[in-house]
Structure 1
Amino acid sequence: MKRRRSEDPDGHSDYRILGYDAAGIVVAVGREVSLFKPGDSVFYAGAMNRPGANAEYHAVDERIVGRIPGSLTSAEAAAHLHYDVGDLVGPEVKAIGFESVDYVAAITTTARSGPDIARATNPQGHVTLIDNFDDSIAPFKPKSITISWAMMLTRSLFETADTDAQHRLLTEVSALVDAGVLRTTLSQASGPINAENLRKAHETVESGRAIGKIVLEGF
């Protein structure tokens, strides 16, 4: 959705396939692949410099792929375990027993949330942002709070030396899911992947009223 809104389709000579967060079954592997084999059930976020996940077949770098947790369906795995820790600010932080915290992972931020996050963070704390953040960071200055970004797609986009860390992280996530420590955020399965269902899913997310992840499955 963000990519569709931010890019001008007229600026590209070829069509563009959108979509991130996918799960499926490996049908073929390259000669140098060592982590997976045909028939493996896998999940992954995708990459900005490759066609998106709204397609029947994907070419994916094995270094950013993990095996689906045995306790999840493909749809649940595709929901990709996103958690909104960024909303645990103000009264919510106190409700779970803390006056303030040293670290905040603002996985999803909302307009004008900066001051609330700053109040909930201890002096010399650390706030990591994943979503776009258009607010002023001035509220963080008095406490000398460190602000950093953590973009999951950086490794695949720039082929960093630690690209395979994404595979290791997903492997750990799979183990935590099967151990019952983490759970999927799948809230709605909206049928097969087609233009109509994709349009409806985008509209729901853009409405700001979506809770959890919306997944399309099959063709």
Structure 2
Amino acid sequence: EITYFHYMRVLGINSRQTLELAELPEPAVNDWDLLVRVKAVAVNPVDIKLKASVKAEQTGLKVLGFDACGEVLAMGARVEGFAVGERVFYAGDVTRTGSFAERQVVDSRLVAKAPRSLSDLAAAAMPLVGLTASEALYDHLGLSLDASGNRGKHLLIVGGAGGVGSMAIQLAKQAGAWVSATASRPDSQDWCRQLGADQVIDHRQPLRAQLQQEVDWILCAADTDAYLDGMAECIRPFGRICALVSHRQPLDMNRFKNKSVGFHWEFMFTRAMFKMPDQSQQSVYLQRLAQAVDGGVVHSILTQEGGQLAVETLQTAFERVASGRMIGKIALTGF
């Protein structure tokens, strides 16, 4: 009996940490999986980190890409709620082959139908940052989904103009919180205000002096080490802090003890990586995000279109994201 393999184009990272165009066999579709034809992708800081982590002894290619919008081509036996031909968006699973490919297999519990009002590019810019912001705000910081429960509460977002900050401003405002965001350049400060931040402060200056009072919650979407002292000054007793960026030196957490502060890490891939029983919460968050977008409450944060997937265009997109000066997100169309 002959097995025919379908081959697909991918942009992978080789053992020299450079991008390479190649053809790989299409991955197998498991019970919970969707096979998706990738129409658009976005680039995130996690792509830069994972590219830099590739070792010289790696064999074959590592295919990155953790944001996509595409069309369902086939489904596993246990998939519910999707149909072939539907447009979907997702951020996927860091342990599986990524979206910088013609086709991708992704667990349906991490997927939702794409916002109808957005182009493929604008939709692809949303999932990873939307999920990260949703998990940070609702799972870790404890904001209520009911806006009346957050009225009068104050959230500080350190790094408001990047991808996660841009989504967190909008979601927190949707949830009724009062939002202060940090940004240091005039264009990034304007962007935060456009997204709905009530106050924009400069993270190059001491933070506490720019706030009228201590805050209930802090989401640190920037360098955790650099803002630790500032966050300790700004957080109120029994407040909560959520950080995204791994620290470089050991952190002295005693500075949070006298205020009984809760400190949380958010990593968007945890649910999939550890096969958590509530993996499908990511589908729920993405559905909620799509509804908010189609209802005009939340806007896509796509700010740059990088062209069609190719070695040169993806390399340029990586360089832009690595610069640390990105406002919003950059997305590219598929092969």
Scaled by the length of structure 2, the TM-score of the pair is 0.60
Structure 2 CA distance for partners of 1:120 and 1:182, relative to 1, 3 Å: farther
Q: Percent identity?
A: 33
CA distance in structure 2 between the aligned counterparts of 1:214 and 1:137, rounded to whole angstroms: 35
1:107 Cα deviation from its structure 2 partner = 3.1
Shift of 1:42: 0.6
Identify which range, 74-83 or 123-132, moves more after superposition. 74-83
More displaced, 74-83 or 26-35?
74-83
> In the alignment, is residue 5 of structure 1 matched against residue 77 of structure 2?
no
More strand by share: 2
Equivalent residue number for residue 159 of structure 1: 275
Q: How much has 1:12 moved relative to structure 2? A: 2.7
2:306 is equivalent to residue 190 of structure 1:
yes
Rg (Cα) greater in structure = 2
Letter in 2 for 1:189: E
Show CA shifts across 1:37-71 (max 9, x none): 11111110111111111111000100000111111
Provide closer, same or farther for how the CA distance between residues 190 and 111 of structure 1 changes in structure 2, counting only shifts above 3 A.
farther
Per-residue deviation, 1:98? 5.6
| Structure 1 residue ranges, 4+ long, deviating more than 6 angstroms after superposition | none
2:119 is aligned to 73
**TM-score, length-scaled by structure 1:** 0.89
The aligned counterpart of 2:239 is: 125
Q: Which residue of 2 aligns with 1:104?
A: 218
Question: CA distance change for structure 1 residues 86 and 35 in 2, over 3 Å: closer, same or farther?
Answer: farther
Give the length in aligned residue pairs: 218
Residue of structure 1 equivalent to 2:323: 207
Contact 1:191–1:218, Cα closer than 8 Å, also in 2:
no
1:50-96 per-position Cα deviation (integer Å, ceiling 9, x unaligned): 111111100010000011111111111111163783332597389x9
Cα RMSD after superposing both structures = 2.5
Structure 1 letter corresponding to 2:86: D
Unaligned runs of 5+ in 2: 1-47, 134-156, 160-180, 183-198, 202-206
Q: Is the 8 A contact 2:101 2:334 kept in 1?
A: no
Residue of structure 1 in register with 2:228 after alignment: 114
- How far did 1:216 drift? 1.0
Aligned-pair distance for 1:108?
Answer: 3.5
Q: Tell me the distance in 2 between the aligned counterparts of 1:159 and 1:203.
A: 32
Instruction: Kindly report which structure 2 residues correspond to 1:22-171, keeping only aligned pairs within 5 A, or say none.
Output: 22-80=68-126, 82=129, 85-87=157-159, 88=181, 92=201, 99-109=213-223, 112-134=226-248, 136-138=251-253, 139-171=255-287
